[in-house]
Amino acid sequence: MIPKTQELKDKVADFATAKKAFREAMSKTQTQIDTATSDISKLRADLRTESTEAKSKAVTRLDELSKNLDAARKEQQVKIEARLKELHTEIEAVNVELKHATAAGKAALEAKATMLREEYEATRSALSATLDGELAEAKARIEAILETAADKKASLRPPSKPRSRTCIRNMRPLSRNCKT
């Protein structure tokens, strides 16, 4: 089936509209992610200097923000994956049409196919960026957990008294004659 010129123009216009809607949705979600990430970073920096009670409140807020961030990232990934599937389907349809197109229709279909492939690659790189952001956030969370654990360990450890060096063989102070 060879698409008519008007039909092809309508498909390109629909594609452009869908592309614009997708970009707007991604922009909105990315704004949410950036805001949450900024708030989380500020809270983590403040945690180092706050009192125990304030730390408790900050940790609660940090958990809440982390959940919001995770939800926003998941939503973004779902939208990106849906868009990738949609683009893949469109690319396959254009490839089938290219096989049966005449010379005049081929040029327009090849232009559309090129446009679809470029959008597919841009969407794939957006998905990769969200996954990289998620990985960076996971690393930051692990670092925060390790810092908290180290602080707790340090606060639970009693102050150590200096040990004198003794010879293991005869339990006397270490001398030149004793081998360690």
- Flag whether 163 is in a domain: no
The pLDDT value recorded for residue 150 is: 82
The pLDDT value recorded for residue 81 is: 92
pTM of this structure: 0.62
Is residue 166 classed as helix, strand or coil in its secondary structure?
A: strand
Report the share of the chain in percent with pLDDT over 70: 81
* Mean pLDDT of the residues in the chain: 79
- Flag whether 166 is in a domain: no
Is residue 51 classed as helix, strand or coil in its secondary structure?
A: coil
Mean pLDDT of 62-74: 88
How many Å is the Cα radius of gyration of the chain?
30
- Flag whether 178 is in a domain: no
Q: Between residues 132 and 20, which one has the greater pLDDT?
A: 132
Its domain, for residue 61, covers: 5-156
The pLDDT value recorded for residue 140 is: 85
- Flag whether 95 is in a domain: yes
- Flag whether 167 is in a domain: no
What CATH number is attached to the domain comprising 82?
1.20.58
Confidence label for 1 from pLDDT (cuts 50, 70 and 90): very low
- Flag whether 101 is in a domain: yes
- Flag whether 179 is in a domain: no
Q: Looking at the 3D structure of the chain, how many domains does it have?
A: 1
The pLDDT value recorded for residue 176 is: 59
Is 132's pLDDT higher than 80? yes
Is 112's pLDDT higher than 50? yes
- Could you tell me if 98 and 106 are in contact, meaning their C-beta atoms sit under 8 angstroms apart? yes
Could you give the CA distance from residue 130 to residue 74 in angstroms, rounded to a whole number? 9
- Flag whether 99 is in a domain: yes
